[in-house]
Structure 1
């Protein structure tokens, strides 16, 4: 896949399209109830977007790239990066989960572990490898202090 298309938002969009198609073409009526699903879905989408924005702002403040295939200029450990080494990806997963709940596409919840696995294999592991090589002891310390997801 070309690197211009091999980006987490593209994979997220693909998963969202699959969940929407499942909800539209094959509704199975396995819902959690409209009030709870809408509330929880909205909170997850809103929280995911907020997490993404805070992480991107922190990376911009630190003057480093947020593009997954590029060499990082700095190791960002402040802001939301104190809570998670991957707040942008965590935000993506929250957005996917939120839309699945909001759309009442319960069978599409199976996309969540697939999407997490894809993020880890295609993006997180290579990124952490670059960070480990470039920032050596500083990254090892950060890695021990801060969990990958939460």
Structure 2
């Protein structure tokens, strides 16, 4: 296996797969176990659209920085550069923040009110499964530069 390839289990264990799974759970809850709770309104639909659109925008801005800096976006790899420009001046994790926003928007869009608890659960899981290990790799690779960046820019907002 070449160093540029990842085992199938690592490709499956990616944030977009987790996001899709959480959205599927919210959809199933709304479809099969609606429990009579609803936030459905034009305002809720607008908020859902803003959250999803904002999440996608954050991700696009982050991907543009990864491309500009010519470093990896894949969570299980160590990046060649520490990105501290663009959207990364506002949040250390714009892609994960975008994922959480998309999940919240999707939950509102399908009117899965009880599934709103999935949003903090998703954030906790992403933090433990991806962010903490990534930050540990960045600490080992970029030492003082990462320490300064970590003090200057918050993990989420």
Q: TM-score range with shorter-chain normalisation?
A: over 0.9
Unaligned runs of 5+ in 1: none
| Two-structure CA RMSD over aligned residues (Å) | 1.0
Q: How far did 1:70 drift?
A: 0.6
Q: Deviations over 1:71-113 (max 9, x none)?
A: 1110001000000000000000000000101111110001111
Instruction: Map 1:20-99 to 2 at 5 A.
Output: 20-99=27-106
2:110 aligns with one of 103, 127, 131: 103
Unaligned runs of 5+ in 2: 1-7
Q: How far did 1:29 drift?
A: 3.1
Q: Could you state the TM-score of these two structures normalised by the residue count of structure 1?
A: 0.97
* 1-structure distance, mates of 2:10, 2:121: 20
Q: Could you state the TM-score of these two structures normalised by the residue count of structure 2?
A: 0.93
SS at structure 1 position matched to 2:12: coil
Q: Match for residue 120 of structure 1?
A: 127
* 1-structure distance, mates of 2:132, 2:45: 33
**2:18 pairs with 1:11:** yes
Q: Deviations over 1:28-65 (max 9, x none)?
A: 23222321210100000000001001101111100000
